[in-house]
Amino acid sequence: MEPAPVYLDNNATTRCDPKVVEAMIPFFSEQFGNASSMHAFGAEVGGALAKARKQLQALLGAEFDHEIIYTSGGTEADNMAIMSALETQGDRDEIVTSAVEHPAVLSLVAHLEKTGRAKVHIIGVDAKGRLDMEAYRKALGPKTAIVSIMWANNETGTIFPVEQLAELAHQAGALFHTDAVQAAGKIPIDMATNEIDMLSLSGHKLHGPKGIGALYARKGTRLRPLIRGGHQERGRRAGTENAPAIIGLGKAAELAMEHMADEQTRVAGLRDRLEKGLLQQIGNSFVTGDPDNRLPNTANVAFEYIEGEAILLLMNRQGIAASSGSACTSGSLEPSHVLRAMNVPYTAAHGAIRFSFSRENGDADVDRVLEVMPEIIGKLREMSPFWRERDNQAFNPTYA
C-alpha cells in the first residue's frame, strides 16, 4: 500500500477546513443576496456577515468590529496600509521596513522608492533573523510615515517584537503596520493590549478560503481607500462583499481559536520532534531562524552541500510536500532573500527546506519524513562534488 501523502507546506497554504466549506456553501446558491439590497435576500446575508465579523474580531482581540476591513487577501491589506499612510501622514514620506518582509511589502516599497514617492529604510537582521534594533531606532524620525514589520517570518517562523516596535514607532510619530499573515491563527493576538495601528491577515493561511483577507485598522487611524467605489466596509474598501469567503474566514477564525492551545503544544511538539530527528540522523544540517522565539509550526532546516529543488523533487516522489528557499524553485536564480539577509552561507542557503505544520498533521507525518529524509539527503550528497571535497576543499571550479 502506498503511504499516505504528507503535507508540510502549511505556510504556503492550508487545507480549507471542511467545517469552513460547510459554512460557506449556503451563501453561493441559496442565500445569494447582496447585503446592501433593501430586501429579505440581502438582509439574511447581512446578518451572517455581521456574525463573521464578530468571529474575526474575537481572534484578533479587537475592541470594535468596524476595525476590520475585508480585502482580497494579505497582499491587498499590506498595500492598503502602506499606500494609505503615505496619503494621510502629511509631509512624512519615509517607510521603515525589514529585509525579510514578504514581497507584498518589499516589492511595493521598492516601487514607491523607484518612482520617487517614498524614501525607504530597510532594516537588516542577524543570523537568527532577529531585527537590528539599533538600526531600527536610528531609522525612525520626523519624516517616517509608516513602519511595516511582519509579526512572524514566513520562511523561518522567527517572531518579531511587534508590540515593542510599535511603541518605538509611535514615539517618532509614525504609524505602525504589521503583516500578520503567518502569525494570525497560529499564536495569540490581542489588539486591545497593544499599540499596533494596522495589521494584515489572510484567510487561506488559517484553514479558510483563498481570496479573502483583512486589514485591521485601529479606531481613529486615518485611512484612505486603495479601491474606491461603493460604500462597502464603511467606504474604506469598495466592492460587493465576498459573502461566502467572509463567512468562511469567520468560521476559520473561530476554529483557529479553538485549536490555539493545540497549536502551541501538540503541533509545536511535532515540529520539535521532526527537527531533532533530522539533526540527529543527518550530519551537516542545522536549523535556521530563532529557536527561542518563533512560530510553533515552522521548521527551516538547511542541508549543506545540496540544492533544495532536487531535495523537494525526491520528497515529492515519496508523497511529501514542503518548500524551499532555493533559487531553482522560484525561477529567480537567487536563493531566498530571507536566508541571504540572515547571512546563511551559500553552501547551506540553497539546501534549506521549510517544513510547516498545521493542526491537521500527526505523528505519522513526522515518522514518514524521518524515515525517508536520510536516504534522500544521502543520495544527493553522494552526487554532490562539494560533499566529497568538503574537508580539503579540492573542488574549486574554474568559473563562477
Interaction site with other proteins (CB under 8 A):
305-310, 313-314, 317, 326-329, 331-335, 346-347, 350, 382-388, 395-400
Cα(202)–Cα(182) distance, rounded to whole angstroms? 8
Round to whole Å and give the CA distance between 139 and 148: 13
Nearest-angstrom CA–CA distance, 67 and 198: 9
107 versus 293: smaller Cβ distance to other proteins: 107
Q: Which residues of 177-190 are buried (b: 16+ CB within 10 A; e: fewer)?
A: bbbbbbbbbbbebe
- In sequence order, the 6+-apart residues with CB closer than 8 A to the CB of 339 are 155, 288, 302, 325, 349, 352
Output 28 or 346, the one with its CB closest to other proteins: 346
Q: How far apart are CA 255 and CA 117, in angstroms?
A: 41
| Single-letter amino acid code for the residue at 244 | P
- Of 258 and 382, which CB lies nearer to other proteins in the complex structure? 382
Contact status, residue 158 vs residue 290, Cβ threshold 8 Å: yes
**Strands 68-71 and 285-287: what pairing?**
unpaired
The residue length of the chain stands at 400
Out of 328, 329, 367, 388, the active site residue is 328
The nearest distance, CB 200 to other proteins, in angstroms, is: 27
Whether 328 is catalytic is yes
- What is the nearest approach in angstroms of other proteins to the Cβ of residue 329? 8
Q: What is the Cα 44 distance to its own chain's centre?
A: 33
For residue 300, list its beta bridge partners: 354
Residue 170 and residue 138: Cα distance in Å, rounded? 14
d(CA 132, CA 96): 12
All three cell numbers of 209, joined, read: 478560503
Q: Which is nearer to other proteins, 286 or 386 (CB)?
A: 386
Q: Please say which residue, 115 or 398, places its beta carbon nearer to other proteins.
A: 398
For 166, the 3-state DSSP assignment is helix
Q: Distances in Å between the alpha carbon of 173 and those of 85, 94, 129, 130, 148?
A: 12, 12, 26, 24, 14
Give min distance, CB of 282 to other proteins, in A.
17
CB nearer to other proteins: pick between 8 and 169: 8
**Of residues 86 and 314, the one with the C-beta less far from other proteins:** 314
Q: Using an 8 Å Cβ cutoff, are 280 and 301 in contact? A: no
Which is closer to other proteins, CB of 264 or CB of 347? 347
Q: Where are the alpha helices (DSSP H) in the chain?
A: 18-24, 26-29, 40-60, 74-88, 103-114, 133-139, 162-171, 243-258, 260-262, 268-281, 308-317, 327-330, 337-341, 346-349, 363-383, 385-388
Q: Which residues form the catalytic set?
A: 328
